[in-house]
Amino acid sequence: MPALHRSSLADDPIEQFGAWYQQAAAEASLVDAMALATVDADGAPDARMVLLKGFGPDGFRFFTNLGSAKAGQLEATPSAALILYWRELDRQVRIRGGVEKLPAADDDAYFSSRSRDARIGAWASPQSQPIADRGTLDARVTEAGERFAGEDIPRPEFWGGFLVRPERIEFWQGQAARLHDRFVYTRAGDGWEIQRLAP
């Protein structure tokens, strides 16, 4: 892969992320897949895959059931790490920062953009909770579908989004012999410091 040089990086990491994301969107099959890491009440790490649902100067967004394990962990400890890896480009981006709940208007706007089946699924699934079997889930989906037959499906109160406000963003470009190029942006006041890291 082409070498990554400091001179080719944007001064702002969100601008740099946007450039990499645009290329990944054209070449990678799972451009929005990202790992979300949190900690539980005992301080033990937890991680799962979620979907990036927007980014900008304020940070990186994702949505979930607010009764899920991840949402409970974020409420108790509002900080997280994200990783996006684009295999086709041999690139990854690591993000760490504080987390805050998105406003209801943002939740409503994104929820309304989802397919009808996905909206029904949000109502039907008691995410992270034990269920007896797949038949139980299927029955809940059928029930939710019948409940909203012929209607617009509103956003459940227990469903919403989070914003990760980055304090540190690392851009990693794979290279031969594991001599990868790594640059980290660290928030410094209103700006960012940029350093190259050893592979």
Catalytic residues: 178
Contacts of 79 (CB under 8 A, 6+ apart): 96, 97, 98, 99
Contacts of 135 (CB under 8 A, 6+ apart): none
Q: Furthest-apart CA pair in the chain: how many Å?
A: 59
Can you list the positions of beta strands (E) in the chain?
Answer: 33-39, 45-51, 55-56, 59-65, 79-86, 91-101, 159-173, 181-188, 191-197
List of long-range contacts for 2-8, beta carbons under 8 Å, 24+ apart: 2/173, 3/173, 3/175, 3/181, 4/171, 4/173, 4/181, 4/183, 5/181, 6/183, 6/194, 6/196
